[in-house]
Structure 1
């Protein structure tokens, strides 16, 4: 088979950032994943939201502002595209308002990426989409660890009498045997709750939940240490809800919660996960209609960049 030739994105020295936009970091748009180390794709579905919709516009907003990203990660001392081959595959053709047909399309799209040997990197979309991704991940890798940054645990049994919603995906993932809860960690939960026992419920389900007040007590380095101890050498999927950040840093999201993290703190968490064996990633709940000067989308693009740097660092050290 002929090796895929993927062009490096143009630098801002050669092509202004407002030219040739539409793909993540102005990477090449391709139609298949063969020969790639990672594949960026959008899942513009938001009709499982419980409050503000708008995350269907998240993938394109993240792509548009990602022109600000450069390929060198100064802390890890790695150039992403010196070690990785990647491209933007466009979007899953979701079915607005219909979650189960959308799940089928997400699973099929993600499976094609995985079967080609690439790491899927999804731009959401509300948090319900992660269940479809995890179904594909499970087909390829079996039960994986979940590393979940969020202000909400998303382990409700039902929302509005429905089992499939952006507040239920990880309850379903455990029930379907897609993740190993005993090797999974949820970080950052905070705010008021309908069920005062939700954190206890997470423990009953086998999950390790580290709420924000506990993170503040033990500190970020210790929290990272605990994450790594729980996950160990298990394969892991990283899911990052943008409302993990305080709304002062990420106002454009469907269910904001005050008392969250700064942009630097969020990036610090991801940088600390360099020893985890990741097999997939998503960033969800960016709702551009509520954004101010693209700050939420820019932060989401940086989260993706940090995850890519982890993949590049791992490849560099092999």
Structure 2
């Protein structure tokens, strides 16, 4: 069950909508900064800052069929929340909608990826922008922790997976990634190779017509996005991330914006996240690759 709608330029009703935005205010396994449950409404507020016209794609958002479904009802249990989220995402996909989730913590990505994979089949890949590997089998005794989401995606759903911006993890996680041939790029890799080369390599590696794109805001350098659950310096810059989104949105069947913790800045992280969600929609609607 959803509640509390209202994001700027989401003028369509559910039946006519192509894009369905929904929040999931859950941070039950967060381990450093708690508060990403407040992010969906913070992103809604931030979105009112922007003009409806996107000059890069020559698209006006008022002409797109966007619906704000509000916030998903969550539970104290992460497993119950993930189960409900899977059901809702599956329903959106079966109704030919593009699900756009605003978290919440990163554990929430797992059921969305699962629903997407089950709806499109084997021609599917996953791209995650994240400072952290999140390759633990469990964390603090919780299997579906925010710190283990990528492990369970690659183990349970799809190994056709790329991680961008990673720069933090235990020794075991770095070794696990290399031993299991998980494709990843550090910020240093991206700076050295150039964003265009990296994007070309990612697209060639995935070799998929349908992907899921997940943006954990701690992928950014913490000077650009200070209000995250687990901020890390020496990260990605907004222009490179926007370029990644522009390139991958046309082949994406779902997108999420995760790990904003609004209380740790004066709105800059939510503003950046809201803008990038709008960039995803504009790129997807334009169909440009």
Question: TM-score normalised to the size of structure 1?
Answer: 0.83
Say yes or no: does 1:50 pair with 2:31.
yes
Query: Partners of 1:35 and 1:203 in 2: how far apart?
Result: 45
Which residue in the other structure is 1:147 paired with? 127
1:122-163 CA distance string (max 9 Å, x none): 000000001121222233223421111111121211212322
Aligned counterparts, 1:1-318, within 5 A: 23-28=6-11, 30=13, 33-82=14-63, 84-96=64-76, 98-143=77-122, 144-176=124-156, 178-179=157-158, 181=159, 183-191=160-168, 193-195=169-171, 197-273=172-248, 276-292=250-266, 294-314=267-287
Unaligned runs of 5+ in 1: 1-20
Larger gyration radius, structure 1 or structure 2: 1
Please give the root-mean-square deviation of Cα atoms over the aligned residues, in Å: 2.0
2:12, 2:65 within 8 Å by CA — same for their partners in 1?
A: no
- Give, in angstroms, the shift of residue 229 of structure 1: 1.2
1:37-84 CA distance string (max 9 Å, x none): 1100001110111211100000000001101222322222333443x3
Query: Partners of 1:36 and 1:26 in 2: how far apart?
Result: 12
Query: Partners of 2:181 and 2:210 in 1: how far apart?
Result: 17
1:39, 1:120 within 8 Å by CA — same for their partners in 2?
A: yes
1:274-297 CA distance string (max 9 Å, x none): 5x52110100000011122x1000
Which residue in the other structure is 1:3 paired with? none
- Give, in angstroms, the shift of residue 105 of structure 1: 1.0
Query: Partners of 1:134 and 1:210 in 2: how far apart?
Result: 21
1:283, 1:304 within 8 Å by CA — same for their partners in 2?
A: yes
Query: Partners of 1:74 and 1:26 in 2: how far apart?
Result: 16
Question: TM-score normalised to the size of structure 2?
Answer: 0.91
2:9, 2:61 within 8 Å by CA — same for their partners in 1?
A: no
2:19, 2:97 within 8 Å by CA — same for their partners in 1?
A: yes
2:10, 2:65 within 8 Å by CA — same for their partners in 1?
A: no
* Number of corresponding residues: 284
- Give, in angstroms, the shift of residue 29 of structure 1: 7.6
- Give, in angstroms, the shift of residue 22 of structure 1: 6.2
Query: Partners of 2:93 and 2:47 in 1: how far apart?
Result: 24
Unaligned runs of 5+ in 2: none
1:281 aligns to what SS in structure 2? strand
Query: Partners of 2:252 and 2:184 in 1: how far apart?
Result: 19
1:160 aligns to what SS in structure 2? coil
1:158-196 CA distance string (max 9 Å, x none): 2123221001112112222x22x2x321100114x322x
1:190, 1:211 within 8 Å by CA — same for their partners in 2?
A: yes
Whose helix fraction is larger, Structure 1's or Structure 2's?
2
Query: Partners of 2:262 and 2:101 in 1: how far apart?
Result: 17
Query: Partners of 2:42 and 2:81 in 1: how far apart?
Result: 21
Query: Partners of 1:138 and 1:53 in 2: how far apart?
Result: 30
1:80, 1:312 within 8 Å by CA — same for their partners in 2?
A: no
